[in-house]
Amino acid sequence: MATATRTPTVGELLNRKDVHFNLWPAHLVEHAIRKGEAQLADNGAVVATTGKKTGRSPKDKFIVKDAITADKVAWGPVNQAFDAAKFDALYLRVMEYLSTRELYVQDLFCGADTTYRLPVRFVNEFAWHNLFVRQLFIRPSAEELKTHKAEFTVIAAPNFKADPKRDGTVSEQFVILNFAEKIVLIGGGAYAGEMKKSIFSIMNFLMPPRNVFPMHCSSNVGHDGRTALFFGLSGTGKTTLSADPSRNLIGDDEHGWSAKGVFNFEGGCYAKCIKLSHEKEPQIWNALRFGSVLENVVLDANRRPNYDDDSLTENTRAAYPVEFIENCVIPGVGGHPENVVFLTADAFGVLPPVSKLSPEQAMFHFMSGYTAKVAGTEAGVKEPQATFSTCFGSPFLPLPPKVYAEMLGRRLREHNAQCWLVNTGWQGGPYGVGKRMDIPYTRAMVDGAVEGTLGKVEFEVEPSFGLTIPKSCPGVPSQLLSPRNAWADKAAYDRAAADLCARFAKNFENFDVPEEVQTAGPKAQK
């Protein structure tokens, strides 16, 4: 890496009295409040705001193109190439900026399976960011800290603004992965999820060559030892549905599937908390206490969180250690999954609440990665908007999608796992007309799938999407299981279903997959 006079190296940068190493939550809370970074809510959680960016900024994420990445990364709008010399120059500017700031360092692990875990170091300008990563990743024991040697270092400087003309970025914000230098450089934005997802992107690059299938999914295990996986994009219910009082939580968002079984990449959870209630999500509600971090949650005059207030963003978030969930699995490892659940929040209101997928259909829907944004959650979104994110995690996949899809196919065949498609979205009409499926009903369908009871009922094939749906499900009114029946205007349902079928077909046109997978999805209806 380039060097310059008067610019400190990482070692020099951290060899100062105002650099704090591996502070515990109480100290980090004190620092965050002392510096005016955050407030303390009445439930004990730290509450911070992230400014104008209240979510990830995909257009500001880059990967340095070099000898390691040039022939491996699927370059394009998702994986944007960044010049190595430009990275070196920007890195030096960030280092100089941080040389006058009080800093916080955490040495952590990614990966609950010690065979595959990645030692990482986070260097943070904000104390609350340092608390966030400490609670979200795996915390070494005192003995492990003595020998901890980071393979990757994440440097986060939210208040440093890039100059696009000078630095080669798109805006003042940037998230740049450098696999040669083993550094992630983040600046220009305070949304903490960028740190979490940068490490996930690294694991998605490193794990496949080691025969580990990296997955954007949650995972839990029943008392009978049956492991289940839950894939889905943000807002589809991965965290909510995996936090099940009747099952033990392995992890809520990122996992690896190795030859031995499933393991959590993280040591914490990062849950959406808009409209959170104790009645519907008691485990998450109870996890939000001292040591937790709330992002962009509005407090009332008595500092009580108002989870219904979306004035800052619909994407309010909570981060907390996985052990704050009473029935978590420590360490976060499990056996080979028997059931794999694909979650979608269909705002068009036409997909069935639960469907049993053939292996070919499973591959189709995995490659599609469908959900639908609802009106009002993003600027300019006035009606339901289809979103297709390959493998339920396109922004975090450096390698070509077929690498991950083929790994899923192999795992399903090897372990005879059953796939299910569960719609946590709308019924009886699109967003604004219909009603979102109640969480207790969705949970009953998911429980039936992963516990085995749903596999014993009678099924039928619905005509719009060719999906196999149950005629009954314990704990769910049977009239809810067929989406067309829930619409008062059947002709309107047929039009909406045909429109979504066409969107699926259009999205899948450019995928290079076997014919049996290509033909397993819904067809554009004439």
303 catalytically annotated: no
User: 241 lies in a domain?
Assistant: no
410 catalytically annotated: no
User: 143 lies in a domain?
Assistant: yes
Q: Are residues 300 and 346 located together in one domain of the fold?
A: no
* Region class of 369: left (phi > 0), else alpha (psi between -120 and 50), else beta: left
Question: Tens digit of pLDDT for each residue in 408-450?
Answer: 989 998 999 999 999 999 999 998 899 999 989 999 999 999 9
User: 313 lies in a domain?
Assistant: yes
User: 226 lies in a domain?
Assistant: no
pLDDT value of position 374? 66
Q: Are residues 380 and 297 located together in one domain of the fold?
A: no
Structural domain span for residue 278: 272-324
Structure tokens given for 439: 């969480």
Peptide bond into 331 cis (omega under 30): yes
224 catalytically annotated: no
Identify the band that residue 377 occupies on the pLDDT scale cut at 50, 70 and 90: very low
User: 349 lies in a domain?
Assistant: yes
Q: Are residues 358 and 436 located together in one domain of the fold?
A: yes
pLDDT value of position 13? 87
Q: Is the pLDDT of residue 380 over 50?
A: no
C-alpha to C-alpha distance for 252 and 408, rounded to whole angstroms: 19
**CB–CB of 71/205 below 8 Å?**
no
- Report if pTM > 0.75: yes
**CB–CB of 201/194 below 8 Å?**
no
User: 60 lies in a domain?
Assistant: yes
Output the CA–CA distances (angstroms, integers) from residue 70 to 54, 82, 155, 214, in the order listed: 32, 11, 23, 21
Q: Tell which of 210, 236, 261 closes a domain.
A: 210
User: 247 lies in a domain?
Assistant: no
CA 309 to chain centre: 22
The one-letter code for the residue type at 334 is G
3-state secondary structure of 9: coil
Identify the band that residue 9 occupies on the pLDDT scale cut at 50, 70 and 90: confident
Q: Tell which of 296, 324, 352 closes a domain.
A: 324
Q: Where are the alpha helices (DSSP H) in 271-358?
A: 282-287
What percentage of the chain's residues is helix, strand, coil (to nearest 5)?
30, 25, 45
197 catalytically annotated: yes
- Name the active-site residue from 56, 139, 356, 411: 56
Q: Are residues 309 and 438 located together in one domain of the fold?
A: no
Q: Are residues 366 and 487 located together in one domain of the fold?
A: yes
Q: Are residues 393 and 293 located together in one domain of the fold?
A: no
Question: Tens digit of pLDDT for each residue in 38-85?
Answer: 999 999 999 999 999 999 999 999 999 999 999 999 999 999 999 999
pLDDT value of position 7? 64
234 catalytically annotated: yes
Question: Tens digit of pLDDT for each residue in 181-219?
Answer: 999 999 999 999 999 999 999 999 999 999 999 999 999
User: 447 lies in a domain?
Assistant: yes
What is the C-alpha R_g of the chain? 23
Q: Are residues 205 and 100 located together in one domain of the fold?
A: yes
Cα within 13 Å of Cα(204), Cβ side = 29
Domain count, the chain: 3
If one compares 179 and 386, the residue with the highest pLDDT of the two is 179
Q: Are residues 320 and 364 located together in one domain of the fold?
A: no
Torsion angle, alpha carbons of 102, 200, 395, 416, to 10: -160
- Name the active-site residue from 50, 201, 234, 442: 234
Q: Are residues 320 and 342 located together in one domain of the fold?
A: no
Q: Are residues 293 and 364 located together in one domain of the fold?
A: no
Q: Tell which of 298, 324, 350 closes a domain.
A: 324
